[in-house]
Structures are given as C-alpha cells and as structure tokens.
Structure 1
Amino acid sequence: MLYYFLHDYFNVIKYISFRAAGAAITALFICFLIGPKIIRTLIVLHYGETIRKNGPESHLKKEGTPTMGGIIILMSIILPTFLWAKLSNPFIQIILISVIWMGLIGFIDDYLKIKKNYTKGLIARYKITGQVLLGIFISYVLFSYSSNNYFFSYNVIIDNINNSIGIGSISIPFIADGFLDLEYLYILLIIIIILATSNAVNLTDGLDGLSTGLTAISCLVFAVICYAGSRYDFSNYLNIIYIPNSGELFIFCLAVIGSCIGFLWFNAHPAKIFMGDTGSLSLGAALGTLAILLKKEILLIIVGGVFVIESLSVIIQVLYFKYTKNKFGKGKKIFKMTPLHHHFELSGWNENHVVVRFWIVGILLALFSLTTFKLQ
C-alpha cells in the first residue's frame, strides 16, 4: 500500500530490499505493540490451553496459559505485507489468501476447543476439507494464469538463454537441469503439500518457541530463494529457476521472520502465550505455499526437515503400534512418546535443550538447503 502512495516521491521505496526490511521491522513493532494487550485479553476471557494428562508431567504447569496467539502472528504478517508489498502481485495475493484461510480454520479449531469445550476442536474431515480446498484454489490460479501467459513465468537459464518450464514441473535438487513435468498430477501434489506442511507445523508446536523458531529459519531460506530467483544475474549464477515476479515474496518472507521473532519474545520458555492452531496452521500453509510458488517442492523436505521428522515420528509410532498389536496382541512403541520432541523430554532433556537443539538441526538443514544451489 505504501508503495503506491510513495513510489513517485521516494525512489528508495522501489527497492525490494528496503521494503522487505520495512516489513520485518513493522512486524516486530506490531508484535511488541499488540502482544501484551492480546495476552491480557485472552487471560480475561479464560482462553487458556488445556494440557493433555498423558503428556510429560513438566507440561502440567502450563495449564491455562493463553492460547490463540496466532492472532498476533497473523496480524504482524498481514499488516506489514499490506503496507510494504505490491498488492497487485498475484504471488502476494495467493500467499495472503493461503495464510488468512488457514488462520481462519485454525481460529475456529481453537475456539471450539477452548470456548465450546470440544476436546478435538474442529472435526478432522472439516479441517482436511479446508486444506484441500486451499490446494485446489492455488492449483486453479496457477494453471489459469499460466494458460493465459499472464503473470507466472518459470525459466531455467542455460548459457544466458531462457528456457521456460511448465507450471506442473517440479525441480529436483542435486541434478543439473533436473525437472519433472507432472502436468495435471501437480494439482494432487499441491494438495498434499498444503496438507503436510500445515499439519507438520501444528504437530511440532508442542514446546515453547519450537515451531516459531523453526518457521523463521525455514522462511529465511525461502527469502534467499525469492530474492535470488527474481534476479536474472543471481539465477544464472546459482543455477536456480528465474521467476521474474517473485521478488515481492521476499517482503512476505521478511514479514514472517519479523513476526516469528516478535512472537518468540512472548513464546520463549516459559511461554506467556501459545500460538495455537491459529498460528501453526497458517505458518504451515505459508511454508507450503512458498515452496509451491518458488518451485522448491522437494527442497521443502530438507528446508523443513525437523517438521518432517516430527511428523514421521508420529506416523511410524502409530503404524508400529498397530502392527505389533495385530501380530502379538499387544501394541509396542518405538519412541517413548510422539511427536519426537516429547521422546527427548522423557529421555531426560529439559525443554530448553530440546528446543535449542532442534533449532540447531533446523539451521544446519537450512544451510545444507542453500548449498544445493551449486551442487547440481
């Protein structure tokens, strides 16, 4: 919004790097401004977290901690993006719709759990339906724009020559010019990515600051990809897909990072507020949508490796328990508790150690992800 008012008067507003920095600072400011007020309001309304009794004993003291803190995250992402990004950019439109839509689903889920005392919140099939609808929406927009050659342009630069790739193509890390065109099967992949990322971040959000920090780390990788991929010279040098109009997503990424850092001020152990499904589902959708728009669907597995491991721990635990129960009459576990962070808690690690060590793994995976640009 500021871009349209000021670009004729201040030349600096035309630079994406300046607007991205502005978005990050604005997101931080909004978090610090509204965070304490929202925490107080949630306490007054008795919107507190209910802690499961079969979880780690150390978590029982968190009973009643305000939740739905995703409201802070959403406001500190959406407002800076509205202020600093070009709202006419379809990349921005898609990512904002994704975040708002999943934030709304998460809000309904949190509200039903807390206010209506529905233990499981929003019925699973309704939540999944909402995620699938978002995937279909993203698919429709991408394929519609692509067929009209209007906006979305994905190019591979070989010897300074642009070679367009189809909207249904995915890039394969570690392979030079490795692309696989899924055509309309890509729609199914988009739906799977939205389902997987939003639920993975939600599963990981079990310790103070864990999902918040990991999301910021993952988003930093996508910020680099956005900025480099929107520039012909960087794309050519780094051997990444040249996406001319994707630079505005750099602003969104910096808003997410600023929001996560600001929220972490209140969410760090001992947390004064939890993000709830309002925050975790919207952040997960943001990561998934970024991966789709930037053609980094497979790289997302590495970038969000900790989220993947956390989700796999739950799947493996459930499958192994069912298998041993059917075969031996009694279910057995591989992990002491899932998601995986609880396993380490029950193994003697305190909460801060688990969180910081998972962050370190996230940072290492992020650095490795960036090296894949030249390892092909």
Structure 2
Amino acid sequence: MDAKFFTSRTTVLTGTGLSLLLMGVLSCLAAGLDTWAGRDWLSQSTLLMPFLLSAIGASLMGHVVVPVLKRLKAGQFIREEGPKAHLKKAGTPTMGGIFFVPVALLVAIVASRGDTNTLAVCALTLAYGFIGWIDDWQVLQHRSNKGISPKMKLSLQIGFAIAFCAWALASQPAEITRVSLPFGLILPLGILFWPIAGFTMVAESNATNLTDGVDGLMAGTGAIALLGLGALIAPDYPELMVFCAAMGGACVGFLTHNRNPARVFMGDTGSLALGGALAAVGILSGHLFALLIITLLFVAETLSVILQVGYYKATKGPDGKGKRLFKMAPLHHHFELSGWSEIQVVTVFYIVAGLLSCFALTTLS
C-alpha cells in the first residue's frame, strides 16, 4: 500500500479522536449485541454494563496512579535499535497494567457474583500480570531495557499454565478437552489438551507483549478482541462474557492515558495479563479455534519476529551479516519505517482486529 495515498486519508484522526471513536463504536456494539440477545442493559450480566464500568473505573484510576508513577520515576527505557522516533518517549511511565487490570478483575468478580470460572480466569490473569510486573520492575531497577531472563519468564509462564490446566481438568474434565470448530463440529483433544492449552497461554501472552509497541495499539486491539470473544461465548458462558467485557472496558479506559501521545505505557504488567486472560477464556470456553482467528493479528506480530530472525540467520554471509524480510520487526515497526505514522498504524490494526472478530462471530456463533 502506498504510504502517501494512505496518509492523505488518515491525518484527520488524532490519538484522542481515535480512542473516543473506538469507545463509541465498541459501546454501541455491546449495546446492540445485548439487545439482540434479549439482555437488559442495566443488568450486570451483559456486555455493556461491565464494559462501561471498567472503562470509567480504569480511566479514573489512571488520573490517580499515573502521577504517582511519574513521581516514582517509573520511566520506560527505549531500545536504541528501535525506531528513532520512539527515543523521545524515554521516561514515559510504564507498568500501567497495575491500575487497569485490577479494575477489570474487580468489576468482573462483582458482576459475575464470584463465579468459579471467573475467579480462575482472574487468578491466571493476575499470575501473568505478576510475571510482567517482575520484568518491568527489573527494567526499572537495572535502568536498562532488560528485565528478567527469557528462561525465567518462560518458566514462570509454563508453571502458571500447568497449574491452570490442572485445575481446569479437575473441575470440568468433560467439557474442557473439546474445541468448537466451524459448522458445529467438535474436536476432542484428549491427552493433547495439555500441550495445546499450555502452548496457547505462553504464545498468546508473548504475542500480546510483542504487539504492545505503539501508543494505544495493544489496548485498543485487546479491547476489540476481548469484546469479540465475549460476544461469541455469551450463550454458553455468560460469566466469562462478563469477564471479557470488563477487561475490554478497562483497556478502553486505559486508552484515555495511553492514546497517542501516551502518558503511560501498560508495560509487561498489562500486556502479559491481557494475553493470559484471552488464553484462559479460550481454554475454559472450548473456543481455541475462535481465539486463534480473533487474535490472528497478534499471531502475525509474533510470526514477523520469528521470520525476521530466521531469515537473517539463514542469509548470513561471511561478514556475519544477513538480510531482513522486514524493515524492522514486530510488524508494526515495519509499517512505521515505511512512512506510516503511529496513528495510521493503530487505525489499520484496529480495523483488522475488528474484521477478525466479526469473521469469528459470523462463522462460529
């Protein structure tokens, strides 16, 4: 796509305008889906009410926590090998997940009346958020862009994934090992549940972590994915629908502080928590295939990194240098270096995320 052609049609949007537009569109969609399903808007067991409560709560909490993070000098360190335009963001507070994730979990628990599945998903979300917090804290302590070691992070992710899978199998062994496919087909996983579910949690959390690289990108696409997944599972898992709506709303509330130019970043605390939340809901609802479709954008971000590294190593010459498939990975950086502004990248990614959710809803609901 020609960058100049694209630029002339998107510069009218600002970070604030884009976040308000997303908030309005998602609120209307939530209300419309509730109406279509015969759910009372004022009831807690809807998409709309938990979504709005979390959005308002996360936005208000941000006005309290962001100044505190600034006073604590919890500023982000920007890697020098990244886009040069990002260097000006150095010092922007990070670790924003510490205020919008708890808001979402509190709303979800109250709205679902302490449902067991909701509590389990909240626990997994907190666990992955805790891994991210450790990583963010290490970055701040070392005053560099390096947190805990990849081996340690992976070990913790796998450990929490095993614990969650063990609980899921013990509490609902019949339903948990089946995956819904298009045309009403059901795929029994059997013993393959362990590696597939574990891989999903680790891969999804790392994918959302990689996607969190541009102002408002992960928060907005995360809100879209969560609302889409919530709408899909609503008929059979209303309590998990409420959880998805609450998490999606918190992401939108976070956008009031994270939209371009960002006043705070979610950090690994937020991005790992979002990946864990999506994966946990997909596993408990038996909608791993739908989760793959809805989060295909995050998968593409991950694949761009894998392909970039693999191609560079495969084409490495005697001088020790190889070729690159993309100007930079993850994929959003490639578009930035191709001449797109951050807002243009975010706009297109929002549209793609929305189309993926719509496709999943129309083919799997």
Task: Rate the CA distance shift 1:187–1:349 in 2: closer, same or farther, 3 A.
Answer: same
TM-score, normalisation: structure 1:
0.82
1:1-376 residue pairs with structure 2 within 5 A?
Answer: 15-17=43-45, 20-87=47-114, 89-117=115-143, 119-147=145-173, 154=175, 167-173=176-182, 176-228=183-235, 230=236, 246-325=237-316, 330-373=321-364
The question of whether the paired residues in 2 share the 8 Å contact of 1:218 and 1:366 is answered with yes
Rounded to whole Å, the distance in 1 between the matches of 2:41 and 2:324 is 56
* Count of residue pairs brought into register by the alignment: 326
**CA separation of 1:205 and 1:14: change in aligned 2, threshold 3 A:** closer
Q: Is the 8 A contact 2:109 2:118 kept in 1?
A: no
Q: Which runs of 4+ in 1 moved over 6 A?
A: none
Does structure 2 retain, via aligned residues, the 8 Å contact 1:16–1:250? no
Post-superposition shift, 1:140? Answer: 0.9
Shift of 1:90: 2.3
What SS is found at the alignment partner of 2:148? Answer: coil
Instruction: Report how far residue 179 of structure 1 moved.
Output: 2.5
Aligned to 1:159: none
Structure 1 residue 328: Cα displacement = 8.6
Cα distance between partner residues in 1 of 2:245 and 2:292: 21
Q: Distance in 2 between matches of 1:334 and 1:13?
A: 48
Letter in 1 for 2:334: H
User: Bigger shift: 71-80 or 97-106?
Assistant: 71-80
Task: Give the Cα–Cα distance (whole angstroms) in 2 for the partners of residues 94 and 326 of structure 1.
Answer: 50
Going from structure 1 to structure 2, the CA distance change for 1:226 and 1:181 (only over 3 Å counts) comes to closer
Question: How far did 1:329 drift?
Answer: 5.2
Once the two structures are TM-superposed, the CA of residue 13 in structure 1 deviates from its matched residue by 11
Where 2:187 maps in the other structure, the secondary structure is strand
Instruction: Output the CA distance in 2 between the equivalents of 1:327 and 1:188.
Output: 39
Match of 1:325, SS? Answer: coil
Cα distance, 1:331 vs structure 2: 0.9
CA distance in 2, matches of 1:208, 1:60: 13
What is the TM-score with the length of structure 2 in the denominator?
0.85
More helix by share: 2
3-state secondary structure, aligned to 1:372 = helix
Separation in structure 1 between the aligned mates of residue 112 and residue 186 of structure 2, nearest angstrom:
30
8 Å CA contact 1:47, 1:114 repeated in 2: yes
Deviation at 1:16, TM superposition (A): 4.9
- Equivalent residue number for residue 15 of structure 2: none
Q: Distance in 2 between matches of 1:44 and 1:339?
A: 31
- 1:132 Cα shift? 0.8
Looking at structure 2, the residues matched to 321 and 314 of structure 1 have their Cα atoms a distance apart, in angstroms, of 11
Greater shift in the superposed pair: 331-340 or 28-37: 28-37
C-alpha RMSD of matched pairs (Å): 2.0
Deviation track 1:296-321 (CA, whole Å, cap 9, x = no partner) reads 11222210111011110000001111
CA distance in 2, matches of 1:65, 1:354: 20
Structure (1 or 2) with the larger CA radius of gyration: 1
**Letter of the 1:60 counterpart:** L
1:317 is matched by which residue type in structure 2?
Q
Instruction: Name structure 1 gaps, 5 residues minimum.
Output: 1-11, 148-152, 155-166, 231-245
